[in-house]
Chains A and B, each alone.
Chain A
Amino acid sequence: MRDTWLVLQRTARPTLRNPVVIVFGLMQPLLFLLLFGPLLGGSGSWQWFVPGLIIQMGLFGTAYAGFGLIPEIRSGALERMRVTPVSRVALLTGRVLHDVVMLIVQCVLLLAVSTAFGFRASIGHVLAGLVFAVLIGVSVGSVSYTLALKLKHEYAFAPVLSSTVMPLMLLSGVLLPMNQGPHWLYVLSRINPFSHVADGVRAVIAGNFGSSSVLTGGIAAVALAAIGLVWGTRSFVRANA
């Protein structure tokens, strides 16, 4: 725990010195909110659309976290830390925690802006929705760092990201309801665990805690986080030694 905190502190320093990066991460979902959301029409559409943006932000924002690790791999900074007694697991979890905190700050800002458009939700429901965001952040962040650790170069990392994150996002049904499309597309989206998480977030923010999508989405989110963490910690502990 102490080690995770130390690594988190170190990772957060450049961010705190230059908090604008938090806003950069907000740009894409904000643009969707401003330039795409109004197309959905109807005042109820915000209640459906805004929770999806949380998933989008968790996917896109956090997936690129690994880019921060690559220069540290190349320069030897990561290796330098691996020779200290600091826990090698903490080298991952400290970073992931930093990204989760960033994600939550971004979610809060986004939700605040959304209320200006007519999005409404109670604080309690939003907090429950943010639990999903944390799980998504842990999962996607861990996977991103692990991929960076394995691929080691931006030119290898970038295409892997764009070819996985984009379909995952499109097939999660955060932009448009998937059940309005052809059946095969709907089936594909159901295979994508993120679509279940998106349904879960929507149900929770609407206050439908009894809905089955909360359970399914919760299981999917916990499973994704667990898989990411297990893969990540194994790779960080092993990697060469």
Chain B
Amino acid sequence: MIKARGLARQFRTRGHTVDAVQGVDIDVEPGELVGFLGPNGAGKSTTLRMLTTLLRPTAGEAVVAGRDLLADPAGVRERIGYVAQGHGAGTEQKVFQEAESQARFYGLSPADARRRTGELFARFELDEVADRLAGRLSGGQQRRLDIVMGILHEPKLLFLDEPSTGLDPQSRSNLWEHIRALGRSGTTIFLTTHYLDEADALCDRILVIDHGKIVAEGSPDALKSQVSGDLVQFETDTPAVAAEIAAKIEGAQELRTDGNTVRFRVPRGDTQLPGLLRALDHADVSLMSVQVHRPTLDDVFLTMTGRSLREESYA
């Protein structure tokens, strides 16, 4: 459904050349739900904008939904749906009419546009707000309207850019249900996210991008299994002493000290913990907190790049 080779984009600003995306290869099979994961500014949206004909690549080539991206962008546009980060409805437009117009833009006849919009409004719980101005909808409603406007023409391939950003938890899980249902009905979905739980909950396969390059790829489970063991993390006043003790644990690796925090990986962290606590106690190391984490996608990212996806949570 997507086959991209060496897709790259440079931006020039005041004499600087910034490589936003440096030659990515992407393969997506029909029916897959693929997540494109990376921190803000990693090149996710730029890649998406290239694949959806909004931004011309400076290098590389791609076939999207069976059409050549560079030679036939109009053909690509007919066959894909794209839901951008922002809200795509005009704030002064009535909700139903705006969706109907969108269907007409996709070439549907007036009758088909009306029928299809009606069907999707029922499915996405928008019937009640059909006559409201789009600017008056709640975040969750606007998001559902955006998705409706992306699938009016029943595209085989749907791009979603950060679909759940800014939504409250309830709207978010509701949105996920709709996305899963779309995936089950055979639509190929390519979504970007910087939320690990979103990628974990929705995607069959994940591509991890950082600094404009793809650094990892696989199913969420396969990616997690690349991380060797559980993460044990504790805080103490005497990190140096504690780190020495931790280093002696069998199988401990990736030992790091960061301020008062000591963390390392070890297989079966839960069974190792009692011994570690005894040893620390023996050496008069007082602990402020102890945590054991099963591997997460964030750990995958940390292992791949040495940085956390959620910078703020460790800062």
Contacts and interface: CB of A to CB of B under 8 A. Distances in A.
A80 B84 contact: yes
B56 A240 contact: yes
A74 interface: yes
B105 A77 contact: no
Interface residues of B, number: 33
A79 B98 CA distance: 14
A83 B52 CA distance: 7
Contacts of B74: 85
Given A13-B93, A14-B93, A84-B102, A241 B55 contact: yes
A97 B255 CA distance: 67
A45 to B, nearest CB: 40
Nearest to B142: A75
Interface in B37-52: 49, 52
A83 B90 contact: no
Nearest to B103: A84
B73 to A, nearest CB: 7
B52 A13 contact: no
A9 B93 CA distance: 11
Contacts of B104: 6
B227 interface: no
B78 interface: yes
A86 interface: yes
A153 interface: no
A76 B105 contact: no
B78 A85 contact: yes
A186 B146 CA distance: 55
A165 to B, nearest CB: 24
B223 interface: no
Contacts of A10: 90, 93, 97-98, 101
A241 B86 contact: no
B107 A75 contact: no
Interface string B66-102: 0000000110011010101111111111100110011
Given A79-B84, A85-B74, 8 more contacts: A10-B98, A13-B92, A14-B90, A72-B90, A76-B84, A79-B54, A83-B77, A240-B56
Interface of A: 3, 6, 9-10, 13-14, 71-72, 74-77, 79-86, 240-241
Interface of B: 49, 52-56, 73-74, 77-78, 80, 82, 84-94, 97-98, 101-102, 104-107, 146, 149
16 contacts: A6-B105, A13-B93, A75-B87, A75-B90, A76-B86, A79-B54, A79-B86, A80-B88, A81-B102, A82-B54, A83-B54, A83-B80, A84-B102, A240-B55, A241-B55, A241-B73
